[in-house]
Amino acid sequence: APGGNASLRVNLNNEVNNYTALQFKLILPPGITLVTDGGEASCQLSPRFTDSNQPFYITEIYNDEQGAAYRVMSVSPSLSPISGNNGLLFILPVCADDHASTGSFTGQLQDIVFIDVDAKESFLDNTSFNLNLTEETAVMEINSDSTKHDDAIYNLAGQRVIAPKQGIYIVNGKKRVVKW
């Protein structure tokens, strides 16, 4: 939804099991960007990356009314391959700005290159994906008049009680103990 976050999950289904590096261009539609932490885009690597120190680099190419584009790169310093032939590769957090239009939009991965342990490059076809932005349905804000009290009594489960017995109750937003 506009103003919300989501996860872009990137999977790799391949015949080769010894890729150690990758790079591609990520193009997102207008109003959608990667989530950043202190100016750095974050990424969650799948356990398929066997090098626990494998760095992941994301650089913004542009971000304008046409959308946002990023160069995404990763290489294993120890030349440890990505394990397994199929499944999740990484997760990129994306966010929609507060004024993003709702609807279905297309993003793309372009110029996809994987490099194996022998430095052989494999060029993959460009691929596209759909992002759907819908109207938000969550409650964003609740306003109350904190000076109004109805002296109603509630149990700890939030149920209204007419005749309280011994126990703990909520009266005007505060816990009260009833003793006999």
| 110 CA to centre of own chain | 21
Contact 54, 74 (CB under 8 A): yes
Give CA–CA dist 87/12, Å, rounded: 6
Q: How many residues does the chain have?
A: 180
- Say what the pLDDT of residue 132 is: 84
Read off the pLDDT of residues 24-53 as tens digits, 9 standing for 90 and up.
Answer: 999 999 888 888 776 677 788 888 888 877
Find the mean pLDDT for residues 19-27.
Answer: 92
**Torsions phi, psi for 174 (to 5 deg):** -125, 145
Mean pLDDT over the full length of the chain: 81
Q: Which residue has the tokens 């100016």?
A: 39
Alpha carbons 6 and 150: distance in angstroms, whole number: 41
**pLDDT band for position 73 (cuts 50, 70, 90):** very high
pTM: 0.69
Number of H helices, E strands in the chain: 0, 16
Could you tell me if 153 and 170 are in contact, meaning their C-beta atoms sit under 8 angstroms apart?
yes
